[in-house]
């Protein structure tokens, strides 16, 4: 299902060919040092579930700010259209780490596949259920999604899980609606315009693009921690950085340096405006304009934490949603302590 996805490779700190040519992820060095001058440079492959989606912004921003270079990490950022594809590649060992939704480590733990979030930078989804404007008169609440064609990034993705939760809280099963994998950005917008979907879960800047064009309206907003708690009943940690538990345990110094990168990035974000953040991003990310990108970012800056730490009640909220509203996860047993760690965030410089 994932073979047709576009994968773009972006290198930071040079050594693109070296990073891609690594025969195994275990080639990453495990040598820590007291300062950056003493740190052994490492090559690291990191897959991101949509580099130009604003919910994943800290990944490219960290590169643009030079923070991977500071930690002597020659990172290859691999663009994947869905967090679902990212988790698969992490589990397969094809990449060292991934950036995707926390629900993936939880779901995989129930299957005996252990990956853990080492930095939680998205403390709310930064998503919205958008309804096509031509359908807005008949779709006014989550209950009205019954029987409709609903767009998600991919089947099994984080957007799929959240939409199942919204349906479930309205009293319906996932089978009461028809889910369509439509990606994000231009493909999501086309699905709305072409009546392929009646409504769908998407991210910024797609949300603001649809609002400004008049093609869709916000049905349920998950772009702040407060609105997320109202819709889902608790904190819902979303995008972060995860890796296989055994990789983390055998590469603790590299994991620490990786978390150092993101903590510094998040603190920089907190100290700067949406305009200043946008100014650091590649020009081709500012679609269709820088002004729209800034407007979209302002709508959801509150989803980003400042320290990579997992919200204390978040893991249980995610597990409960999976158990209650995702049919394949009913009754699953999960060791939540294996699905995330704050150890590196606590030690981050």
pLDDT digits (tens, 9 = 90+) for 49-105: 989 999 999 999 999 999 999 999 999 999 987 656 899 999 999 999 999 999 999
Distance of alpha carbon 121 from alpha carbon 17, whole angstroms? 29
200 shares a domain with 131: yes
77 shares a domain with 142: no
- Residue whose C-alpha is closest to residue 77's, from 6, 19, 2: 19
138 shares a domain with 103: no
- In the chain, the number of structural domains is 2
148 shares a domain with 115: no
Distance of alpha carbon 50 from alpha carbon 166, whole angstroms? 23
Distance of alpha carbon 328 from alpha carbon 110, whole angstroms? 11
> Is 55 strand, coil or helix?
helix
- Residue whose C-alpha is closest to residue 241's, from 222, 257, 229, 228: 257
Which of 199, 222, 245 is the endpoint of a domain? 222
Exposure string (b/e) for 281-317, b if CB count within 10 Å is 16 or more?
A: beeebbeeeeebbbbbbbbbbbbbbebbbbbeebbeb
185 shares a domain with 267: no
Check residue 47 and give its pLDDT: 97
103 shares a domain with 12: yes
Check residue 38 and give its pLDDT: 83
- First and final C-alpha spacing in the chain: 40
Check residue 83 and give its pLDDT: 58
Check residue 85 and give its pLDDT: 84
| Boundaries of domain holding 206 | 127-222
Residue 37 lies in a domain: yes
Check residue 287 and give its pLDDT: 86
Residue 135 lies in a domain: yes
**CA angle in degrees (0–180, nearest 5) for 277-125-253:** 70
CATH number at residue 152: 3.40.190.10
Tens of pLDDT along 91-127? 999 999 999 999 999 999 999 999 999 999 999 999 9
Check residue 204 and give its pLDDT: 95
Check residue 35 and give its pLDDT: 53
Residue 99 lies in a domain: yes
252 shares a domain with 211: no
Residue 241 lies in a domain: yes
R_g of the chain, CA atoms, integer Å:
19
Residue 229 lies in a domain: no
Residue 227 lies in a domain: no
Residue 23 lies in a domain: yes
Residue 140 lies in a domain: yes
100 shares a domain with 144: no
Strand order in the sheet with 239-244: 8-11, 73-79, 42-48, 97-101, 239-244, 115-120
What's the count of helices (H) and strands (E) in the chain, helices before strands?
15, 11
Q: Could you give phi then psi for residue 272, rounded to 5 degrees?
A: -130, 160
154 shares a domain with 78: no
By the 8 A CB rule, do 142 and 115 touch? no
Check residue 37 and give its pLDDT: 63
118 shares a domain with 140: no
278 shares a domain with 150: no
Low-confidence spans in the chain with pLDDT less than 50 = 1-34
Which of 188, 222, 256 is the endpoint of a domain? 222
Q: Please name the residue that has the structure tokens 């993936």.
A: 104
Which of 222, 255, 281 is the endpoint of a domain? 222
Say if pTM beats, i.e. exceeds, 0.75.
yes
Instruction: Let me know if 71 is exposed, middle or buried by CB neighbors in 10 A (0-12, 13-18, 19+).
Output: buried
168 shares a domain with 313: no
Check residue 8 and give its pLDDT: 44
Check residue 24 and give its pLDDT: 38
- Residue whose C-alpha is closest to residue 277's, from 5, 80, 36, 64: 64
């Amino acid at each position: 299902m994932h073979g047709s996805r576009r994968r773009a490779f972006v290198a930071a700190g040079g050594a693109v060919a070296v990073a891609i040519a690594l025969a195994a992820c275990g080639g990453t060095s495990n040598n820590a040092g007291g300062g950056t001058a003493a740190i052994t440079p490492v090559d690291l492959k990191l897959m991101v579930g949509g580099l130009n989606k604003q919910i994943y912004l800290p990944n490219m921003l960290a590169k643009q700010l030079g923070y991977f270079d500071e930690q002597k990490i020659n990172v290859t950022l691999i663009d994947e259209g869905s967090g679902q594809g990212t988790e698969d590649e992490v589990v397969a060992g094809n990449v060292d780490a991934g950036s995707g939704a926390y629900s993936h480590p939880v779901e995989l733990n129930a299957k005996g596949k252990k990956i853990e979030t080492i930095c939680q930078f998205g403390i709310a989804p930064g998503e919205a259920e958008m309804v096509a404007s031509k359908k807005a008169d008949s779709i006014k609440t989550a209950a009205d999604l019954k029987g409709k064609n609903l767009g998600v990034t991919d089947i099994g993705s984080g957007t799929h899980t959240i939409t199942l939760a919204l349906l479930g809280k309205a009293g319906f099963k996932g089978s009461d609606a028809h889910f369509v994998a439509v990606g994000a950005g231009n493909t999501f917008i086309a699905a709305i315009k072409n009546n392929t979907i009646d409504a769908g879960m998407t991210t910024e800047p797609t949300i603001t693009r649809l609002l400004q064009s008049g093609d869709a309206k916000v049905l349920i907003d998950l772009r702040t921690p407060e609105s997320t708690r109202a819709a889902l009943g608790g904190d819902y940690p979303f995008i972060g950085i995860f890796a296989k538990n055994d990789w983390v345990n055998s590469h603790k110094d590299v994991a620490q340096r990786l978390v150092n990168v993101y903590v510094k990035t998040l603190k920089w974000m907190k100290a700067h405006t949406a305009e200043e953040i946008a100014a650091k991003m590649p020009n081709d990310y500012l679609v269709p304009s820088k002004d729209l990108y800034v407007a979209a970012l302002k709508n959801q800056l509150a989803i980003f934490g400042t320290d990579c730490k997992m919200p204390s009640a978040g893991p249980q909220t995610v597990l409960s949603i999976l158990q209650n509203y995702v049919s394949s996860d009913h009754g699953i047993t999960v060791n939540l302590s294996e699905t995330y760690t704050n150890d590196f965030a606590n030690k981050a410089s």
